Amino acid sequence: MAHSSWEKPSRRAGGAAVGTEQPIVRTAGEQKLGVTARRRLVTGAGAAALVGSALAMTGMGAAGAATQPAWLQAKQAALASFRPPPPASVVATPGPSASYYTSELITATVRNLGPAHTATCTIKGELLTPTGVNAAHPAPAVVTTNGFGGSYDDSTTLGSAQNAAYDGYVALTYSGLGFGGSSCAIELDSPAWDGAAASQLISWLGTLPQVTKDDPSKDDPRVGMIGGSYGGSIQFATASIDPRVDALVPIITWNDLAYSLAPNNATDGTTTTSRTDAEPGALKYQWTGLFFGDGIVSSAKYAMLAQQLATGCPGFDPAICSAFARTVAAGYPDPTTTALLHGDSMVSYYRTVHIPVLLAQGEDDSLFNIQEAVRNLRELQANGDPAQLVLQSWGHSSLTPAPGELTYAPPFDGYENVLIKHFYDRWLRATPGVSTGPAVQYFRPWVSYTGSAAAAYGTAPSWPVGTSRSLYLSGGSPAAAGALVPSSEAVVAGSQTFLNTGPTGTSYSETSAVQDTQPFSSIPPSDTPGTFAAYSSAPLPSPVDVVGIPKLTVRLTSSVGTGTPTSPATDPVVYAKLYDVAPDGTRTLADRLVAPVRVTDTSRPVTITLPGVSAQYAAGHRIELVIASGDDAYFGNRTPEAYTVSVAPGTPGSLTLPVVPQSAQRSGGEPVSAP
């Protein structure tokens, strides 16, 4: 969502000349997947046959609608009643072409936006048509738009479009509303605003002769979408109102903005993911402050939102600014703000999304964590949608993909580039023999490799991938010390009391959005003595590979007590995290991730989902659980008070880790059941 997380400032990284319409040499990643990559243009005459091929690939064969999967039946029912919006009005001029595509710069006018269907906005973008694609040889289209603060021609957004054009797809890249020369206010990927604008661009693509059509009478092009962060959520917003979209690749995006920006990781103990609902969490004030800075800079840069300047909230819908001001003042989002953020999130409209989706989420991401992707996966699976999950190395906290993982320039041969190509080839072209690979893949930072990052990716047929292994919180020696022991029978009584001194401070995990730059990257995570409780395991006899979402159950009391449902400001707020402690005492916090939780009832244990990780704890190292009273990147409880964590043999706390034995791990592309 943030400018620093998805966009990079250089332009046209992929503009270098490459051969035109020649066979693509198989990369190491493609060899791993066992598929010969090649350019394949779908002619208009072959469109009907392609649909039949797609049905066969989903197991439908010729048996008809009765054997179609539920998601496809729902999509077809939605299409039958769908009234497409008029195409955007587009003015196009020649743009900077490359050897493998021609370019047109576009200014599009979209109308009837917003809840009242009265707003008109202009959109800046660029259309890339691959060499050899024309009315006689049309191709499916891929649409992409920018992350928060970016534009249609930043290096990652344009790079994604160039990648699609290189693979033979007509590519449209455009600036989202309020960004990159496009007018109107920033609306947080609202279906009524941003989704409706994208829908009119899809109608326009349906009028282009070089784009493959599913239904010419409805301006229905064969079309997929791709994009990161803010450019990921727009895909869900669009698909929720427009069933013409055929495939999505949302990268490092959210499920619920209320959770993303003020997470509460408390659960009822029965779920493996959490979401802020009735009780707000701890405000990510560094991330939210950055968003408003990006929005204001964007509107000032393009000088197209003069009407917003008069409101004191340049660039944004004033309702969003009002919500931000109330949240900062209170330290947590109120119900009105939570409802606003829910409404612009997949969690509120996923039931209308019926489409194949390739989810790519960052392991190194303190903004939109693995929990968000798992929630999206679960919701898509509840619809019966074909959904795959890729946990990549990089995210909002560190922008740089691992070597051989993802590139934005020809020949676009990173492992993720290959996965995306095969996903589109299956769902947009129904190319015979294409495998989209395993249902779940995860980057393993402890694996050494050369060339393609395929070897570093573990695979699994479903989520979760790990087997639960529990450690128990115990008193130590002395009694105030804490230990993690492998058996509940080994637990001894003990307690640790620590202080909360205010809403921030006491612990340092990261400086959001810039942690991968100097001097911040040299500042280690830390906890102020007296402001945390810690529980440490014995040295590990062998490596422990944790992949997934750990869960903690603990009993915590407060010297002040809890707040009220209408005023949670005095509820205890703590931050749980796992350190890797080396034999020399060096402590590493996996991807610098923490789990804030607002404790609303201290009379019973609280269950907390810790940050999802893919991390190895080496032999001889210790696993250390820390429960801290504050964190520099968040607003927490503003009331000074003391917290106590108590354990006893009859009521031990527990830490459950999703562990994948090394003997069960497979490298990316090895045969595992595909979805």
Per-residue pLDDT reduced to its tens digit, 341-352:
999 999 999 999
AA letter at 226? I
Say if CB 471 and CB 655 are below 8 A apart.
Answer: yes
CATH number at 560 reads 2.60.120.260
The predicted structure's pLDDT at residue 446: 96
Q: Cα 130–134–136 angle (5° rounding)? A: 140
pLDDT average, residue stretch 109-117: 97
Range of the domain at 9: 3-255+345-460
Q: Does 10 have pLDDT greater than 80?
A: no
Pairing of strands 141-145, 223-228: parallel
List Cβ neighbours of 379 (8 Å cut-off, separation of 6 or more): 255, 346, 347, 350, 353
d(CA 418, CA 421): 5
Q: Does 298 have pLDDT greater than 90?
A: no
Tell whether 293 is covered by a domain.
no
pLDDT average, residue stretch 555-573: 77
Tell whether 325 is covered by a domain.
no
Q: Does 381 have pLDDT greater than 90?
A: yes
As a whole number, the mean pLDDT across the chain is 85
d(CA 287, CA 512): 6
The predicted structure's pLDDT at residue 179: 94
Q: Does 44 have pLDDT greater than 50?
A: no
Give the residue, 300 or 607, on which the prediction is more confident: 607
List Cβ neighbours of 231 (8 Å cut-off, separation of 6 or more): 6, 144, 145, 146, 147, 150, 157, 176, 251, 253
Structurally, the chain folds into a number of domains equal to 2
Tell whether 274 is covered by a domain.
no
Q: Mind listing the pLDDT tens digit for each residue in 166-176? A: 999 999 999 99
Tell whether 363 is covered by a domain.
yes
Dihedrals phi, psi of 232, to nearest 5 degrees: -95, -45
| 438 and 547 assigned to the same domain | no
The predicted structure's pLDDT at residue 479: 53
| 611 and 500 assigned to the same domain | yes
d(CA 424, CA 433): 13
Tokens 């979408």 found at: 225
The predicted structure's pLDDT at residue 490: 94
pLDDT average, residue stretch 95-114: 97
Tell whether 304 is covered by a domain.
no
Q: How far apart are the first and last CA of the chain?
A: 29
Q: Does 460 have pLDDT greater than 50?
A: yes
Q: Does 29 have pLDDT greater than 50?
A: no
**Closest to 514 (Cα-Cα) out of 226, 286, 188, 271:** 286
Q: Which of 442, 460, 478 is the last residue of a domain?
A: 460
Say if CB 331 and CB 393 are below 8 A apart.
Answer: no
Tell whether 125 is covered by a domain.
yes
CATH number at 406 reads 3.40.50.1820
The predicted structure's pLDDT at residue 568: 78
Cα torsion through 180, 195, 236, 247, rounded to 10: -90
| 406 and 502 assigned to the same domain | no
Beta bridge partner(s), residue 485: 472
d(CA 520, CA 474): 35
Beta bridge partner(s), residue 371: none
| 35 and 172 assigned to the same domain | yes
**Closest to 121 (Cα-Cα) out of 172, 207, 206, 180:** 180
When pLDDT is cut at 50, 70 and 90, the band that residue 2 belongs to is very low
| 441 and 545 assigned to the same domain | no
Helices and strands: H and E segment counts in the chain: 15, 31
Beta bridge partner(s), residue 472: 485, 654
Q: Mind listing the pLDDT tens digit for each residue in 466-485? A: 899 999 999 976 655 799 99
Q: Which of 460, 479, 508 is the last residue of a domain?
A: 460
| 478 and 375 assigned to the same domain | no
Tell whether 328 is covered by a domain.
no
| 441 and 477 assigned to the same domain | no
Q: Does 31 have pLDDT greater than 50?
A: no
Tell whether 330 is covered by a domain.
no
d(CA 24, CA 5): 30
| 42 and 94 assigned to the same domain | yes
pLDDT average, residue stretch 71-81: 95
478 cis-preceded (ω within 30 degrees of 0): yes
pLDDT average, residue stretch 258-285: 73
Q: Mind listing the pLDDT tens digit for each residue in 141-160? A: 999 999 999 999 999 999 99
CA dist list (Å): 342 to 241, 346, 362, 375, 457: 16, 8, 22, 14, 33
**Closest to 550 (Cα-Cα) out of 674, 371, 331:** 371
Q: Does 335 have pLDDT greater than 60?
A: yes
Q: Which of 415, 432, 460 is the last residue of a domain?
A: 460
The predicted structure's pLDDT at residue 69: 92
d(CA 647, CA 497): 12
| 455 and 518 assigned to the same domain | no
When pLDDT is cut at 50, 70 and 90, the band that residue 368 belongs to is very high
pLDDT average, residue stretch 370-391: 97
| 419 and 521 assigned to the same domain | no
The predicted structure's pLDDT at residue 522: 92
AA letter at 448? S
pLDDT average, residue stretch 410-429: 96
Per-residue HEC secondary structure of 445-513 comes to CCCCCCCCHHHHEEEECCCCCCEEEEEEEEECCCCCCEEEECCHHHCCCEEEEEEECCCCCCEECCCCC
The predicted structure's pLDDT at residue 608: 95
The predicted structure's pLDDT at residue 480: 59
AA letter at 467? T
**CA torsion sign, 17 to 23 to 24 to 27?**
negative
| 524 and 609 assigned to the same domain | yes
**CA torsion sign, 475 to 272 to 391 to 663?**
positive
| 524 and 553 assigned to the same domain | yes
The predicted structure's pLDDT at residue 504: 66
Q: Does 6 have pLDDT greater than 50?
A: no
